[in-house]
Chains A and B, each alone.
Chain A
Amino acid sequence: MSVKKSMRSALVLAFLLFVGSISAQTVKVNVKDSQGEPIIGASVVEKDTKNGGVTDFDGNFTIKLTANKPVVVSYIGMKTKTIDAKGKSELSVVLEDDNTQLEEVVAIGYGTVRKKDLTGAVSQVNSKQIENIPVSNVSEALTGKMAGVNITTTEGSPDADVKIRVRGGGSLSQDNSPLYIVDGFEVSSISDIAPSEIETIDVLKDASSTAIYGARGANGVVIVTTKSGKEGDVQVNLNASIGWKSITKELEVLNPYEYARYQYELNSNGNSPAKVNSTANNYGNWSDLDIWRSVEGADFQDETFGRTGVQRQYNASVSGGSKDFKYSVSYAHNDENSIMERSGYRKDNINAKINTKLSKWLTFDFQARLANQRIDGLNGGTDTNESNASNSIVYNSLIYQPIQELSAMDEDEESSSATRRSPSERLRNTYKMQKRFRQDYNASLTWKPFKGWTMKTQFSYNWRFNNTDQVWATRAVSNSSYGYNGAPQAYFLEQQYKGFTNSNTVTYDNKKLFGGRDAINVMVGQEWKSTKQTDRSQVLVSYPTSFTTDQVLANVAAGIPYQNSSFIHEDDNMLSFFGRINYTMMDKYLLTFTLREDGSSKFGKGNRWGLFPSLALAWRMSDEKFLSGVNWLDNLKLRFSIGTAGNNRIPSGSLFTTYKMADATGKHPGFNEKSAEMFEHATLLYNPDLKWETTTTRNIGIDYGFFRGRLNGSIDFYWNTTKDLLMKATVPSSTGYTQQYQNFGKTSNRGIEFTLNYAAIDKKNFKLNANFNISYNKNKIDELPGGATYQTSSWGGSRVNKYTGDFYLEEGGRLGEVWGYQSAGFYTVARYDAQGNYLGGDLVLNNRNQWELAPEAARNNSSSLFGGLYPGTAKVECDANGNPIYQRLGNTIPTTTGGFGIDGQWKTKYGVFDYTVFFNYSLGNKIVNATKLGASFFAGSQKNYNVMNDYNLDNRYTWVDPNTGLNLGRPSAETVAEYGGAQGLMDRLNAMNTNASVWNPAANSTMVVVSDALENANFLRLQNVTIGYSLPKAWIKKFYANNVRIYFTGYNLLCFTKYKGYDPEVDTSSKNNPMTPGVDYAAYPKSRSYVMGINLTF
């Protein structure tokens, strides 16, 4: 909008200087748009002459007709009108919006195409949709907006992984993220691009579109085009916003009193009537436990995540240019304090672009993008020196004891109070700073030697530094993978990447084939690409124990250098040849044929080259004669495509056994008490026969537009199959390895995507647009030679018994199938009537004071999974022999996702209000609520940890007799005597637990994945509400401003879900193993945010 306006002003000014004499027939032309708003700067020209000018602020221009020809009124983005003005002195012209949907240009790789001529499945988001809503991360702006593009923000931390999946993704064990192309060049992530810089984002979904990227396009391609300068006056944009973030919810754990009561079930205090009231008890003697009711206790979730984060964004851009020289420079700054103490980030981006015409035939483009990021603080899960996630600060904020036991003496290492540190304390003792600096330089030369021929050479160079500094002060060093526990340590990592890409294309374009009936566009090209990476790291240990993290940073030399290491990665090189033919017949029949051959340095000699062809056809039915009479139909296009794309995402060193120096986390031998260097092989077994993974995509789609474009959208059906999967296959550990990359198996994704845009109200003063998209995807594992395998998400470290694995892959199955045990309550005490007849229940106390199954009770061996046989031990579904049945519990991958929303504006004489409301949703999956499961039992000997509030006294099976404080679950001989024998004790346990509905966490020392932990993860999220207000033009004219808009936005305002964890959109384990999606363990909680800001355009 602003561009148009400024151009208008410029042209008006130009015109004013140009006003000539008026003679002959004079016609006053008034130009308005369909809403009746005057169009400023519309061109009014006498046909076939140079006589004419542009309209003024009120949409008026008076033209003096000299040649007696009709008047041509035109304006960018609107349909040109030619009007006979003979004999008229005034002319009122209403210009209609050109059907922009169809004229919009879409990036398709090494070129663009009008949306109208598109043969493939492409989703687009443009700057309009992004610029009104301030977001800190591009991916955030895309969530739910595009059918078939599923975006999951895996957790709430500032550097959280954003998982983008286009049509499900075909690989099982490989990264399924799409290829990212920014301004023509591949980048590894789009998170370092300032959202304000983006012009459009196109997502290529089917092979017809992605095949031009060949090997790398199998998982879709996200093409980001940044803003460029436009011809016209200098335009200045300024934006500023400030926002506030806070945690969406806290999880409920036991309160101090409940916690003390629970701890009583764990310790042996209640074993003897004599000791129950001894003062040596950890949380006080039994009769005094009530004092904990008045104790508030620590809320570590609040201490860790409770703060209100503040985010600020500023950006400024200057652009403009002449016909031969265009420029654009923008700067963006974002900073944020996140909700977790000591975490936040800062981002500065500069993007400069120039485009200059060196001669009539030669154009030169240059772009520089600089991004400087600083990320403070920890993410969820483990952080470098922690041995597993159950030790993480995030997780401990939930389960750490809310109150201190009275005595700190304990035999157990894990629960010895000296090694336990509260999450807040650990947080204060941890420093983590990631600095990422990235520079990208692109230059291209376009040469148009003859009509229709374009030769283009593009060169890109990028240079990245990723540095990570971590320091742990004494209290955060108790479980370090480097050793040297108990004294501060530091870790510094420097990573450097350098890459270049050179691509050369020749394009032949002829729109006048067969006398203008057909058009052809042929492009052939070649590209080579190389990436180098060097890592260097340092570990220093044994700083003076009194040192704070700041002191360590200030005096790095005070530590003992433990290990320095470096690694020069092999160059990742690729050489490609490609070509594309677009043929348009009679403007109705479209054909695209694409062929690409890629050679990758990642594969061995025989398997290096992959050939990826694709073919697409489209039929613009609405242009057929038989439909030309249908008034309400203005666009109907049928598309069909088939093609292949590849995938080579395997790490280096997968082809041969190679050795490299071990790093600091390796355990080095201490010959003569000196750490000796070691050479180690790759962790995966090599495989010289690895080859390309290939995805074949078939797509049928319809683009439609009805009622003059008021209702439009598309529907697509696809069927993708991926074969020769690059799988990280499990091999028996007796090989000395646990996994190997192999090509095997076949998966498929079938799905439907539907999008609908509806301009529901299109009045002059009020507009309401509604949009809706839905996609359904079903993944299937078609072939899996070698048989089914279990995968373990290893979420609980040592807390949870991994059994065989919690995810199961099998031929005919799907990714994300969770296996485990079906919960079936808990063991109870057997009941007998006075005659000794069995009335139900499971256990009886034998004469050794141990529990055993009553002879009458059904056989049930569940207790073998949970550690011990007690009343209150969890039970699972068992077979006829009483053995637990390991079975399928659910799937963690949503089948249906999408979004819907409304937006529009309301014009008043006091200015324009605009509004956006957007929801996104996800259906059809479950999430493993491992956070809850991990806090529902006592792991091994880990006393003094809290559990979820689900296990409070109202719900759980309890052992401790509220009257006496004696522990009846693990009774001593004295306790049994106290109750007049086993029967008395059993009766008492039954009486105490008539209302018990869940197991006793104290009875379960190990845990497996049970159905209780699988929760429905369907959700509907009110993702965004924005209200904007633009000041009336009349007011702001005085300040030479074109537009002043203030706005207010809320993010993640509501989430309707049955899921009981922090947020149902979560995925903490697939970072390490993509075959274990949908686990929620120690995730950094998500936040809700409110932002207000201002946009200024001059």
Chain B
Amino acid sequence: MKKIYSIVAFAMAALCLTSCSDFLDQKSESEQSTETTYESPYYTGLVVNKIYGLMSRDYTYSQVIPIIWGANTDTELIDGLGTGVETASERGVMNYRMSETFWARIGDWWKDYYDIIEYCNLVISGVRNSELYKSGSASDKKAMGQYLGEALTLRAMMYLDIIRMWGNVPMKFEPTQPDLSNAYLGKTDRDVIMDQLLTQLEEAIELLPWADAATNYTTERVTKGYAKALYAQIALTRAGYAIREDQESKTKLAEGYEKAPYSDDVFMTLRPSQSVREGLYKKAAVQLADIINSGRHALNPSYKDEWYQLNQLVLDKAYRENIFEVPNLHNVTGELGYTVGKRMNGITTDWGYGNSSGKLKTTATLWYSYDPADTRRDITCAVTQYQQDGENTAEKFIGNAPFGIYIGKWRPEWMSEAWLSQNKAASAKHMTGINTVRMRYAQVLLYYAECLNEVVGPDATLANAGTSMTARQALAEVHKRAFEDKSAAQTYVDNLASDKDGFREAIMQENAWELTGEGFRKFDLIRWGVLAQKIANMKKEYNEKCTTWDQYVHYKASSTNPNYVDMSTCVYDNNKTMDGYQDATWFGFADDTKKEGNTQWSTNLPRISEGLVGTTIDGTIGTPVNIAKQAVKNRYILPFTTKMIADANGALVNSYGY
């Protein structure tokens, strides 16, 4: 017995001594280190997938950016009207009523963007240090290079969005160091960041393939075309107006920056000098021309089909008008069509579970601005909704809700069979999976038109741009696509002003017609320096025109469904009824007394965007009604929340009078 015991004891001791060092070195078999991850194209691809996954979260491109961030403009309104603008939620914030304590969720958005940036940083540094990338086989190098290009492009995309919402932000192009040496970063001038992004995109453009020119590189990933378009978008933003911090304002002014006509005296709205702008426009034009020349992307000849395919969750492989779409997943991510889109009011037999599409709406003034022949009007503005009427589902007009027109670019009748069968079975919100489009070819054309107009005017060509297309021709492509009668549309374009300023106005107008509801317009208006004025104009226009508008709409039932509306039969006038037609209320008032007794005019209209333009309705920009410490003109920018400031240990401070 003793012997046995001694042997056991010795064996134990021996086992222990020999295995001591290994025994304490443990690693999960399910976890991969940085070294193994970036030496494998498969694993690297999985990390890149995570970047896209992070882009379909609620606070990024599944909900917040496409639906909320783009509000308010002259044509897009968040669902906070009247007293709703006081709500500490996107309803208040997107009416520009903000303070650092008002809505803590702003910090969650911020966090989600920097999450993505950190993943991009990890991939970029991982690939750059990867032996496989440096000295692997040609195919491995290429694959790893594409991932590098993607991460560079996505990071630039994130930074552009953060800059546009918060102004100057921490610039971090390296993975976070565990010793926190690069954690407490202060703000960097957005111009400095954007200049860097442009340089990085030049590298990314070289690395990335064109859409569908490499396996798996569909328009659901960023490709060469998107990188180029993003390059132009950043260059144009860099060349445009932006509100500046107080000290920065003075410095920039001394550097030759130009002050906007509508600007705060302390926190000035500035843009770079003429020469800097021109340089940027030229560079942007070259990249845009590359896209135009590539043949990889084109306008879908049918504006409707463009949206139909998106709603169907089908990638358009013929035209690839959508240069990059965030890959949302049916049932899991993507709120387009649910939180925004044509309304399904309550549960209906035809469509199933209702949606809550009123988060973002458009205005009657936009509806009236369209040429009646413009196919974009009835696609963009959904003036009807579905609701249950007894045993049948009926399509009804929304009535006199001039600020409550649904965005019809996402609508149930275009959505897929899979969605419909699911929605009929559902008893709760389920994600539509509709991809969030972040760049359309139409934007490329409008950017191109803008660049050329700014440099050479509407009708000249730019040397070295790689194409002989003029600004007017680019605009014409966009405009004409929307019309059946191409020659009439061409006439409209031909009659546009031939001076830069006049033509710029036309581009701004085309932008509203083409892009309303997609979350782009606000940032274009900001860089053009006209956000506040355009909103004030809209309020004035409604005030002046609502008594001239028609009070009623008359329509016939659809030939395929007697409960639905045939939009092509609509007649608008001031008569309550019309023989052979069904009737509904429209946006007009009989006279001033009617409008004054109405909530839309008396309560809602003044308070729209009151945090930016005040409550005036005469076309002047009033004193912003705000809850921040100071009233500041043209303050469209988001504050840092108290938590963001506290977490940064003094590295971040609010400016702009928050």
Give the B-binding residues of A (Cβ under 8 A): 358-359, 362, 408-409, 411-413, 416, 418-419, 445, 447, 449, 455, 457, 474-475, 477-479, 482-487, 502, 504, 526, 528, 530, 541-542, 544-545, 566-575, 599-601, 608, 652-653, 656-662, 666-673, 675-681, 685-689, 730-738, 740, 786-787, 789-790, 792, 798, 801-805, 848-849, 864-865, 867-869, 940-941, 970, 972-974, 1005-1006
Asked, given contacts A487-B426, A734-B170, whether A972 binds B599 with beta carbons under 8 Å apart, the answer is: yes
Q: Which residues of B contact A685 (CB under 8 A)?
A: 176, 178
Asked, given contacts A671-B327, A735-B118, whether A801 binds B24 with beta carbons under 8 Å apart, the answer is: no
Interface pair B599/A541, CB less than 8 Å apart: no
User: Can you name 8 extra interface pairs (CB under 8 A) apart from A408-B346, A483-B329?
Assistant: A449-B2, A483-B430, A484-B332, A504-B13, A670-B220, A736-B117, A736-B176, A940-B87
Asked, given contacts A567-B28, A677-B49, whether A731 binds B647 with beta carbons under 8 Å apart, the answer is: yes
A-B contact pairs, 28 of them (CB 8 A): A411-B358, A412-B356, A418-B427, A475-B427, A483-B331, A568-B28, A573-B24, A573-B26, A599-B20, A658-B28, A662-B53, A671-B218, A672-B315, A673-B313, A680-B47, A689-B178, A732-B170, A734-B110, A734-B172, A735-B114, A790-B643, A801-B88, A803-B104, A848-B606, A868-B83, A970-B83, A972-B599, A973-B597
Asked, given contacts A678-B46, A735-B176, A868-B83, whether A805 binds B643 with beta carbons under 8 Å apart, the answer is: yes
**Assembly CA distance A731 to B179 (angstroms):** 11
Interface pair B87/A736, CB less than 8 Å apart: no
Q: Contact partner of A675 among B102, B169, B221, B332, CB < 8 A? A: B332
Tell yes or no: B262 within 8 A of A by CB.
Answer: no
Interface pair A657/B327, CB less than 8 Å apart: no
Interface pair B642/A673, CB less than 8 Å apart: no
**Assembly CA distance A940 to B1 (angstroms):** 77
Q: Contact partner of A733 among B79, B86, B104, B114, CB < 8 A? A: B114
Contact with A along B231-258 (1 / 0, CB 8 A): 0000000000000000000000000000
**Assembly CA distance A531 to B427 (angstroms):** 44
Q: Which residues of B contact A787 (CB under 8 A)?
A: 649
**Assembly CA distance A455 to B339 (angstroms):** 72
Tell yes or no: B225 within 8 A of A by CB.
Answer: no
Q: Which residues of A contact B354 (CB under 8 A)?
A: 416, 418
Interface pair B122/A681, CB less than 8 Å apart: yes
Asked, given contacts A668-B332, A940-B89, A1005-B88, whether A419 binds B327 with beta carbons under 8 Å apart, the answer is: no
Interface pair A734/B346, CB less than 8 Å apart: no
**Assembly CA distance A636 to B9 (angstroms):** 43
Q: Contact partner of B53 among A449, A656, A669, CB < 8 A? A: A669
Residue pairs across A and B with CB atoms within 8 Å: the count is 326
**Assembly CA distance A419 to B599 (angstroms):** 29
Interface pair A486/B430, CB less than 8 Å apart: yes
Asked, given contacts A457-B12, A670-B330, whether A485 binds B428 with beta carbons under 8 Å apart, the answer is: yes
Kindly provide the distance from the CB of B99 to the nearest chain A CB, expressed in whole angstroms: 6
Tell yes or no: B50 within 8 A of A by CB.
Answer: yes
Interface pair B30/A661, CB less than 8 Å apart: yes
Residue of A nearest to B648 (CB): A732
Contact with A along B7-39 (1 / 0, CB 8 A): 011001100100010011111111111100100
Q: Which residues of B contact A731 (CB under 8 A)?
A: 176, 180, 183, 647
Tell yes or no: B268 within 8 A of A by CB.
Answer: no
**Assembly CA distance A484 to B332 (angstroms):** 6
Residue of A nearest to B652 (CB): A732
Interface pair A867/B643, CB less than 8 Å apart: no
Tell yes or no: B345 within 8 A of A by CB.
Answer: yes
Interface pair B26/A601, CB less than 8 Å apart: yes
Asked, given contacts A575-B16, A669-B329, A848-B615, whether A734 binds B46 with beta carbons under 8 Å apart, the answer is: no
Residue of A nearest to B183 (CB): A735
Interface pair B56/A669, CB less than 8 Å apart: yes
Interface pair A733/B30, CB less than 8 Å apart: no
Tell yes or no: B433 within 8 A of A by CB.
Answer: yes
Q: Which residues of B contact A412 (CB under 8 A)?
A: 356
Within 8 A of A (CB), among B128-145: none
Residue of A nearest to B16 (CB): A528
Q: Which residues of B contact A608 (CB under 8 A)?
A: 24
Tell yes or no: B631 within 8 A of A by CB.
Answer: no
Give the A-binding residues of B (Cβ under 8 A): 1-2, 5, 8-9, 12-13, 16, 20, 23-34, 37, 43, 46-47, 49-50, 52-57, 62, 79, 83, 86-89, 92, 99, 101-105, 107, 110-111, 114-119, 121-122, 169-170, 172, 175-176, 178-180, 182-185, 216, 218, 220-221, 313, 315, 327-333, 339, 345-347, 353-354, 356, 358, 422, 425-431, 433, 597, 599, 602-603, 606, 615, 627, 642-644, 646-649, 651-652
Interface pair A599/B24, CB less than 8 Å apart: yes
Interface pair B220/A672, CB less than 8 Å apart: yes
Interface pair B346/A418, CB less than 8 Å apart: yes
Q: Which residues of A contact B332 (CB under 8 A)?
A: 482-484, 667-668, 670, 675
Asked, given contacts A504-B9, A867-B88, A1005-B88, whether A659 binds B602 with beta carbons under 8 Å apart, the answer is: no
Interface pair B429/A673, CB less than 8 Å apart: no
Q: Which residues of A contact B54 (CB under 8 A)?
A: 667
**Assembly CA distance A659 to B39 (angstroms):** 13
Interface pair B28/A653, CB less than 8 Å apart: yes
Residue of A nearest to B387 (CB): A409
Kindly provide the distance from the CB of A872 to the nearest chain B CB, expressed in whole angstroms: 14
Interface pair A570/B34, CB less than 8 Å apart: no
Interface pair A672/B24, CB less than 8 Å apart: no
Q: Contact partner of B31 among A483, A570, A673, A941, CB < 8 A? A: A570
Interface pair A668/B329, CB less than 8 Å apart: yes
Kindly provide the distance from the CB of B428 to the nearest chain A CB, expressed in whole angstroms: 4
Interface pair B53/A419, CB less than 8 Å apart: no
Interface pair A687/B33, CB less than 8 Å apart: no
Q: Which residues of A contact B50 (CB under 8 A)?
A: 662, 666, 678-680
Q: Contact partner of A678 among B25, B49, B105, B182, CB < 8 A? A: B49
Interface pair B331/A541, CB less than 8 Å apart: yes
Q: Which residues of B contact A483 (CB under 8 A)?
A: 329, 331-333, 430-431
**Assembly CA distance A478 to B414 (angstroms):** 25
Interface pair A803/B643, CB less than 8 Å apart: yes
Interface pair B646/A571, CB less than 8 Å apart: no
**Assembly CA distance A573 to B27 (angstroms):** 11
Q: Which residues of B contact A734 (CB under 8 A)?
A: 110, 114, 169-170, 172, 183, 185, 648, 652
**Assembly CA distance A497 to B1 (angstroms):** 34
**Assembly CA distance A409 to B356 (angstroms):** 12
Interface pair B329/A673, CB less than 8 Å apart: yes
Q: Which residues of A contact B643 (CB under 8 A)?
A: 790, 792, 802-805
Kindly provide the distance from the CB of A875 to the nearest chain B CB, expressed in whole angstroms: 15
Kindly provide the distance from the CB of B312 to the nearest chain A CB, expressed in whole angstroms: 10
Q: Which residues of A contact B597 (CB under 8 A)?
A: 973-974
Interface pair A659/B12, CB less than 8 Å apart: no
Q: Which residues of B contact A802 (CB under 8 A)?
A: 104, 643
Asked, given contacts A483-B430, A670-B329, A804-B646, whether A359 binds B20 with beta carbons under 8 Å apart, the answer is: no
Q: Contact partner of B333 among A455, A477, A667, A680, CB < 8 A? A: A667
Kindly provide the distance from the CB of B269 to the nearest chain A CB, expressed in whole angstroms: 25
Asked, given contacts A528-B23, A567-B30, A732-B651, whether A867 binds B86 with beta carbons under 8 Å apart, the answer is: yes
Q: Which residues of A contact B105 (CB under 8 A)?
A: 798
Q: Which residues of B contact A686 (CB under 8 A)?
A: 178
Q: Contact partner of A673 among B116, B433, B646, CB < 8 A? A: B433
Kindly provide the distance from the CB of B311 to the nearest chain A CB, expressed in whole angstroms: 13
**Assembly CA distance A832 to B178 (angstroms):** 63
**Assembly CA distance A1007 to B47 (angstroms):** 39
Interface pair A736/B115, CB less than 8 Å apart: yes
Interface pair B122/A677, CB less than 8 Å apart: no
Residue of B nearest to A449 (CB): B2
Interface pair B603/A864, CB less than 8 Å apart: no
Q: Which residues of B contact A484 (CB under 8 A)?
A: 331-332, 430
Interface pair B28/A652, CB less than 8 Å apart: yes
Q: Which residues of B contact A662 (CB under 8 A)?
A: 50, 53
Interface pair A736/B119, CB less than 8 Å apart: yes
**Assembly CA distance A671 to B326 (angstroms):** 9
Residue of B nearest to A653 (CB): B31
